[in-house]
Chain A
Amino acid sequence: MPPSSPAALDILNLRKHFTEPAVDGLSLTVRAGEFYALLGPNGAGKTTTLRMVAGLLEADAGSVRICGIDAFAEPIAAKQVLAWVPDEPMVYDKLTPLEYLEFVSGLWSMDVDFARHKADTLLDAFGLAPHANERCGGFSKGMRQKVALAGALIHEPRLIILDEPLTGLDAGSARQVKRVLTDLVAQGVTVIMTTHILEVAERMADRIGIIARGQLVAEGTLEELRARASADGNSLEDIFLEIVGGGSKGELLTGAPLHIDEKVA
């Protein structure tokens, strides 16, 4: 991705305080057409940051620009080009995937014929076509996640933010989702994704940002992060653990050993 690409997301000095600072002066820029993975330990502030970007949480301070639009000053214009997919798929049990997509396309005021065509394409891409007219209430978590993803993509957003999108997906579904996301990036769509599956970030992301204690502590391509970290290993896991202060894998595994009763075992 050329460094000169315009910013799809520009976060400046973002702050959010709950009982303690959750996001503490975070600044971050994601270029258009980039696949950006946001990593960090639990409670680091990843989801809080992204929820503020999506307009789901009010920031205490700072600014967010989405494709050049001030998201706090012009939230509706910003939301027009944005899609948010939470980790817990939120779909309506009483609607079918097709009805859900019709509803979402109505919210984004899409042309109905185009929306219908797009819905069919997405249902096919996610392997949901055979279930297009079944109510979501009977779906597995993975299927619901795919319906939610289809809903996020139907209005052709320029920036897609996904919070742990692969959680609960089986290997086949995860591959489907990854392929769709990679295709989107190839088409110029910007994808920002949080994940705990470091291998996914390692393989898919153009750039990786690491958040700890509400601050961006490292950012760059895998090679840049590798160069920065003094980790012995070469994997992102080693680099991640080095940067967030978790120590090496060996250190992490030196806690109290787990004893399993021989009789039970």
Chain B
Amino acid sequence: MSQTMALPALMRFTRHELRLAWRDWAWIFSGWRKTGLRRTLIGMGAFYAILHFVAYAVLSPHFADGFVFDQTALAVISVTVVLSFTMMLSQMIESVTRAFYARDDLDLILSSPAPSRDLFLVRIAMMAATNWVMSALVISPFLNVAASLGGERWLAGYLVILAASLTATGSGVLMTLALFRTAGARRTRLYAQILAAVVGAAFLIGMQVVAILSFGSMSRFALFDADFLAVHVPAANSIWWFPAHAVAGQADIVVMMLGASLAFFAAAAWCGAVQFPRIVVMALGVSENTPHKRAAEQPFRRRPVLGTLIHKELKLITRDPWLVSQTLMQVLYLIPPAVMLWISFGETAEISVLVAPVVVMAVGQLAGGLAWLTISGEDAPDLIATAPISAFTRLCAKALAALALIAAVLLPITVGMAVVSLAGAVVTFIGAMIAAGSAILIQLWFRAQAKRTTFRRRQVASKASTFAEAGASIACAGGTALVAAGSPLALLPLALLFIVLGISWSIRPKHNATN
């Protein structure tokens, strides 16, 4: 049997991968409802067109008298490229790990006579292509407008995104392989997820921390101050600005970047494809471990039904580090305000106003995730539904379990804040608990039974609940900040919160006996 796949077979597999990528995308945005997909495509088309107007509004002043390549321009473009790259890398680490663990067709591929190396090579190439297309879609309005205002040389930006995408995919493959080698198949999924979140957030957070330390400002844009850049950044011809020059169409740099990234991608993809089958077999062989065996003679504990349910929810969540890390990743975004707290220790009023909304927003989002896990993510729905307990007890226990976890995360933060400002801490705690309560209510109204393993796609089940959760969190965050600042305008976000909850309640789906 040939060790290399025939071209027609390779093409068929590429088509298969394209189809899967498209269906995956369509499912995420429409939940596979035909009308939903049509509406989504029309909506996204409109949004894409509007982005061109936004891009025009942002870019036209800079092109009015010819584009000036000063240090601010170099910094902004380079930072945008690096930011895109970190986002792509984060996405790729997640995608590559998922390819090892969670694709339904791995058994089929490994048991087929087709060389799995070639199939995985195609799969890695498809990841890079998908990454490029998605990134290009987001950035292209700015490139198109820049090209129309400053000449077609700006279209080189598409090639820079391609280079970034190839490098990100290659890096993602190598990093995941390294994780498998060092951490083993059992832990790689968790570590990769944390790494992806850290990579995705690190650059943004890093910029924010530098801004706080340098200017005492939460705004990352403070870093683009011309005087600051004149002192702290390299000269215009430095290698650090190559991405910016490439985006602006400097042909030699574009060719060099693209060539280097292609070579790196080819080497990394080959390395990954060769090792893929062995690693997939390792990943598929991972079984549930039982770290601490319970003593055989240990008696059952006496608990009321509500306690039994809450205990089960807490146990399931704490035993699933992968899910816990997914939800707790949002706490990463508390790091910048924490730095702010440290810097501005003496100015208590300022701290409350600045920190409270961030904490409340993060807790609201965290609560949404946890509430989904406890309320909708039930792996034995029939057992719970046929137990002799009322629906109220059932839902109450699930909501309380989510609230208990939120309180566990929130309390240390509140205590830390109380050291600086007791009133601020109380306001923040109340605001955060209202945000958590709102998120839990929304999850209760929009509950839809699902496997816990589908957590990553929980937003797909109901976009209405996702928007409602975000709206409620924003309202709570704004309201808390205004209360902390002593402003009567706090009533406005409060009204917004009631409107969001009211609309959510009125459009909630009808639930049947099982849920």
Contact = CB atoms under 8 A, between A and B. Distances in A.
B222 to A, nearest CB: 46
B513 A58 contact: yes
A151 B386 contact: no
Interface string B264-292: 00000000000000000000000111100
Contact of B296 (A55, A79, A133): A133
A54 interface: yes
A138 B288 contact: yes
A77 B383 contact: no
B319 interface: yes
Contacts of B315: 94-95, 99
A74 B285 CA distance: 47
A105 B300 contact: yes
B514 A57 contact: yes
A103 B301 CA distance: 10
Nearest to B323: A94
Nearest to B384: A107
A90 interface: yes
A56 interface: yes
Interface stretch (A4-12, A34-42, A81-89, A252-260): A81-89
Contacts of A112: 299-302
A92 B380 contact: yes
Contact of A54 (B293, B379, B386, B389): B386
B102 to A, nearest CB: 15
A107 B389 contact: yes
Interface string B386-417: 11111000000000000000000000000000
Given A112-B302, A134-B290, A135-B289, A92 B379 contact: yes
B242 to A, nearest CB: 48
A77 B316 CA distance: 28
Nearest to B390: A76
Nearest to B308: A106
B512 interface: yes
Contacts of A91: 379-380
Nearest to B383: A90
B294 interface: yes
B305 interface: yes
Main secondary structure of the interface of B (DSSP, over half): loop
Which one of A109, A119, A148 has the highest number of Cβ atoms from chain B below 10 Å of its Cβ? A109
Contacts of B287: 137-138
A54 to B, nearest CB: 5
Interface in B212-245: none
A84 B380 CA distance: 12
B288 A137 contact: yes
Q: How large is the interface on A (under 10, 10 to 19, 20 to 34, 35 or more residues)?
A: 35 or more
A98 B294 CA distance: 9
Contacts of B305: 106-107, 109
A108 B513 CA distance: 19
B487 to A, nearest CB: 46
Given A56-B513, A113-B299, A93 B387 contact: no
Contacts of B383: 84, 90, 104, 107, 148, 151
Contacts of B294: 96, 98-99, 133
Contacts of A56: 382, 385-386, 513-514
B105 interface: no
Contacts of B387: 79, 104, 107-108
Interface string A130-143: 00111111100000
B386 A55 contact: yes
A112 B303 CA distance: 9
Contacts of A133: 290, 293-294, 296
B448 to A, nearest CB: 15
Nearest to A112: B300
A116 B296 CA distance: 11
A94 B288 contact: yes
19 contacts: A54-B386, A56-B382, A56-B386, A79-B388, A91-B380, A94-B315, A94-B320, A95-B312, A102-B300, A104-B387, A105-B300, A106-B311, A107-B388, A107-B389, A109-B305, A133-B296, A134-B288, A135-B290, A135-B319
